[in-house]
Every structure is written in structure tokens, then in C-alpha cells.
Amino acid sequence: MLTLSFTLQTQLELFLEQLQSLIDESLILIQEQQSQNFIYEYGTSEFNKKTITTFKNLIQNTQLQTRLIHLPESSAQYLLTRKKLDVLDQRFVGEIFVLQPVSLNTLNPKPVTSLSLHETFHSQSSSMQHMFSIIERVAITEFPVLVRGESGSGKELVAQAIHQYSQRKKHPFIAINCAALNASLLESELFGHVKGAFTGAIREHKGVFERVAGGTLFLDEIAEIPLELQAKLLRVLETGEFTPLGGEKSLKSNVRIIAATHRALREEVKSGRFRQDLLYRLRVIPIFVPPLRERKEDIPLIAEFLLNEHRTSAQAPLLSEDALQTLMAYEWPGNVRELKNTLLYALAMANGRSAITISDLPDEIIHGAQDSESTTETYEQPIRINATKLDAYTLQQTLKKYQYDLGLTAQALGISRTSLWRYRKKFGI
């Protein structure tokens, strides 16, 4: 069970306000771990005192899990969500319970969110656990999210997870790759156009801001959006309104924006390729997707899932020990996407055999793994530099290595973010 962790009590209070505003009919309870007393209670009109008391007794007397439940002497069904909770400044440890009525007419026996984030991402690594915690907390808000990560690391999967865990999950999720369309096509796809707006516009076209109403819009490779369109996107974020290409009437937008990029947007701002005001609008909640080379313990889980998903016979072939060790030794610059392509290649080479051996892997993976093994000691050594010896070259190279993620760079250098800022100012980086 994941833990919702807050540094300050005020952060928890803000979280609860957001939760209350997003869930129409609900009962929210917080129980202190040691005393088992309920210290917080919020219930809408759906829940009378008797129902609340019954539910409290169930919590105290049984081990309720996150699932559909029936309250005694009631035909209604309720969806229970249960999370551990801690507030550091209050030294508080407990649990939060959310109970929502479920209509029998609309009950889905297997909701999309029935899969946990561990199962969705096939991961149990500590770096991904931190990301899961952020996803769960931000999903119930309406704040814009900026997903950072290398190509192939799973940024769109993060956006889909946020959508599926949000109150917008019953509405559309649409993904747009901003790098795949030129400026005019991208503008039409985002905002739509009216008939006759340009040569060839023989009919009206609704853009994604209109088609995704009530849902989530995922803008992948946001750094590639042209400057002239950045101004229009900023207006939507600031006013909630947009105007179709060639149109005169503004339309209201009811869309949650999740953007993603493999670039450092702060560096794009410095170079004049990205608007600073748009950066601040998009980067309300940043999420960093760890590269596969930093969570290699997930490789066996991901490989097992992919081999089962794409098997050509009744039973998926197993990875031999030498093949698995080769995959574990490789650095995966293409991340999970590259691992998937590698396993599809291996499946074809295995040609129905019960096991995939090292000879079934692509040559570049085998040779790349061997090169990585020969340099593992120097490559994987964490950088810990005395601040007095930090020079401009080392700082520049470390920033590049972590794609200008200031938190990771400061951690690698063993200094605070404030010190990192001072050194960047000193060296003009």
C-alpha cells in the first residue's frame, strides 16, 4: 500500500480541499495509527450519521481493503480507497479512507484503474515508487503536469496513469506529438478551424481542445511547438478560452493539460526557443521518469510482460540466464522502447523455441553489454566532489548527463540546490 506523505499540515489541508471539490458524493475519514481514533471526517449528504458510524466500525473491526464493499443492511455498493498517510511536521502517521457510492447500473466489473501502478509499469524499483506516489497525489488535482524523461522511458504511460487515476477518467484522453506536425497543421489540430479558414479547408474541423472536453490532453515533445503557437497555448492556460483558426468566436476549454519533453525547458528558454511564462504555466507539477539504466531491477519484470504479450505460441519463451544477464549489463539508451524492440527481435530469432538465448539477441546489445561491463566501475561510480574543487567543466558535464535536471545534478555533485545555483551563476552556466 503506497503512502501519501506531506511535509507540512497545510499541504495536507490543501490536498483535502482539492479532494472534497473533486468528489461529488463521498465520505473521507482519517484515522490515527496508534490510538485508532478518527481525527478527520468529511461526508456529503449521501452519508447519514448511521452510515458513517457503521463504516467506522467496519474499519476498526475488520481489515478492509481497496475494493467494492457492501455495508450491512444496505443494498448499495461502495468503492473504498484506502491509503497510508503521514505528516512530517506533526509527526502524524495514520490512514485515509475514501468511500464512494457506486451505481449498479454503471458498475464496471473490471475498472481501468484496477491495475496498480506497479502492475501498469511492471516496476518495483525505489525510484519508480517515488514517481508512483507523485502520480497518485497529483491525479486528483487539476494542476498542469510536466513529465520529463529520456526518449522511450514511458512519458505517455505516465500521462495515461494520471488520467486513469483522476476524476476525468470517463472522458477522453488524447495524445498529440507536437514534433510530428508542422506549425499550420499543429495549430489546426489543437484549436480546430472553420470552413474556408485556408486553402483546402472545405469543412469545419474541431480541434483537440474541443474534442477532449472534460478529459485530458497530453502534449508530447512540447519543446518542439513553434513560438507563435506557444502564445496561443498560453492564452488557453490563462483564460480557459481558445479561438479556432479563422474563427471569430472564442470557445471555452475544459481540459487538463499534461505536457512532456526530453529537453530541459529552462535551457530552451535561455536560448529563446521557449517562452518563460509558458514554462511556469506548464511546470506546476514536474514528474521525472527514471531511465531504465537506473532501475535495472525492473528489466526481468518488463521482459516477462512483453514476452507474454507478444508470444507466438501457447507459452511465452523464457529468457536464459546468459540472455538475462546480457540485458541487465546493457545501458539501454533507448530505454523501455529499445528493450521492447530487442525482445521482439529475440522472439523472432528464437522461432518458437522454449528459451531465448544470448545468440537470439541483436549484436549491438551483446557488444554494448560487453563494453558496459568493461567500464562499469568508472561509469557507475557516483560523483561526489568537494565543493571547493568544483570547476566549470565538471559542472557543465554533470548538467548534461542529467539533462539539466537541477535536483539530480545537485544530488550527484553532493551539494544543495542553492549551492548549485551559486556555482551556475559563478561560471555563467
At 354-378, the pLDDT tens digits run 899 999 999 989 887 766 555 443 3
Domain count, the chain: 4
Residues 221 and 258 in one domain: yes
The answer as to whether 82 is a domain residue is: yes
Compare 48 and 338 and report the one with higher pLDDT: 338
Q: Judge contact between 137 and 4, C-beta under 8 A.
A: yes
CA pair distance 135, 52, nearest whole angstrom? 29
Residues 309 and 256 in one domain: no
In the chain, what's the furthest Cα-to-Cα distance?
71
Cα–Cα nearest to 82, from 70, 99, 58: 99
Residues 166 and 266 in one domain: yes
Summarize the confidence of residues 274-300 as an average pLDDT: 94
Taking residue 288's Cβ as centre, other Cβ atoms within 10 Å add up to 21
The answer as to whether 113 is a domain residue is: no
Compare 410 and 205 and report the one with higher pLDDT: 205
Give me the DSSP letters along 242-255. Answer: E--BT--S-EE---
Name the packing angle between helices 155-164 and 126-139 (round to 10°): 40
Question: Which pLDDT tens digit goes with each residue over 95-121?
Answer: 988 888 765 443 443 343 446 888 889
| Candidate from 31-45, 103-117, 317-331, 332-346 with smallest mean pLDDT | 103-117
Beta pairing class for 173-177 and 216-220: parallel
Q: Report the predicted TM-score, pTM, of the whole model to 2 decimal places.
A: 0.62
Residue 54 belongs to domain spanning: 3-107
pLDDT at 288 exceeding the cut of 60: yes
The answer as to whether 76 is a domain residue is: yes
The angle at the Cα of 144, spanning 141 to 145, to the nearest 5 degrees, equals 100
Q: Judge contact between 193 and 244, C-beta under 8 A.
A: yes
For residue 337, the SS3 value is helix
The answer as to whether 84 is a domain residue is: yes
Residues 190 and 276 in one domain: yes
3-state helix, strand, coil in the chain (%, to 5): 45, 20, 35
Residues 13 and 123 in one domain: no
CA pair distance 317, 311, nearest whole angstrom? 8
For residue 412, the SS3 value is helix
Compare 348 and 14 and report the one with higher pLDDT: 348
Report the CATH number at residue 33.
3.30.450
Residue 261 host element (H or E): strand 256-261
Domain boundary among 288, 319, 345: 288
The answer as to whether 53 is a domain residue is: yes
CA pair distance 138, 407, nearest whole angstrom? 19
Taking residue 167's Cβ as centre, other Cβ atoms within 10 Å add up to 17
Residues 144 and 250 in one domain: yes
Domain boundary among 341, 359, 379: 379
Compare 33 and 47 and report the one with higher pLDDT: 33
What integer pLDDT is reported at residue 107 of this predicted model? Answer: 41
Please, which pLDDT band fits residue 270 given cuts at 50, 70 and 90? very high
Please, which pLDDT band fits residue 259 given cuts at 50, 70 and 90? very high
CA pair distance 158, 117, nearest whole angstrom? 9
What integer pLDDT is reported at residue 383 of this predicted model? Answer: 42
Residues 9 and 103 in one domain: yes
Q: Judge contact between 163 and 182, C-beta under 8 A.
A: no
CA pair distance 302, 332, nearest whole angstrom? 13
- Chain centre to alpha carbon of residue 249: 35
Please, which pLDDT band fits residue 35 given cuts at 50, 70 and 90? confident
Identify the residue whose cell numbers are 565543493: 387
Question: Which pLDDT tens digit goes with each residue over 168-221?
Answer: 999 999 999 999 888 888 999 999 888 887 777 778 888 899 999 899 999 999
CA pair distance 190, 211, nearest whole angstrom? 10
